[in-house]
Amino acid sequence: MKTLMIAALALAPLAFASGAEAQGTARGAQRGVEDGSAAAGPVGGVVGGAVGAATGTVGGVLGTDTDPARRAREDRREERREERLDRQERMGR
């Protein structure tokens, strides 16, 4: 029983990483095919899909942000929250 628990705990991070990989791989391949096809036709689509899948997998494992606009929205939301808290603090609340 103890050995099973140790094995499960050791393999759990691999399961989570593969989930991130799968999401990045699919999105990367899709975008690679679209961009490659637009740039170089069918051959570009094949090459773009392979390269996009590889970069998507690496990005998924490393946790890179694929949507910079989302990050900007989160930053603005955090700034507004901090400003609101500063105003409340100055007002003595």
* 44 in the same domain as 24: yes
What confidence score (pLDDT) does residue 7 get? Answer: 63
Contacts of 28 (CB under 8 A, 6+ apart): 52, 53, 54, 55, 56, 57, 59, 60
Counting every residue written for the chain, the total comes to: 93
What confidence score (pLDDT) does residue 30 get? Answer: 85
Determine the average pLDDT of the residues in 63-78.
Answer: 79
* 71 in the same domain as 57: no
Tell me which residue range forms the domain holding 36: 2-62
Q: How confident is the model at residue 5 (pLDDT cuts 50, 70, 90)?
A: low
Q: Total domain count for the chain?
A: 2
**Considering the chain, what is the average pLDDT of its residues?**
77
What confidence score (pLDDT) does residue 45 get? Answer: 84
pTM: 0.47
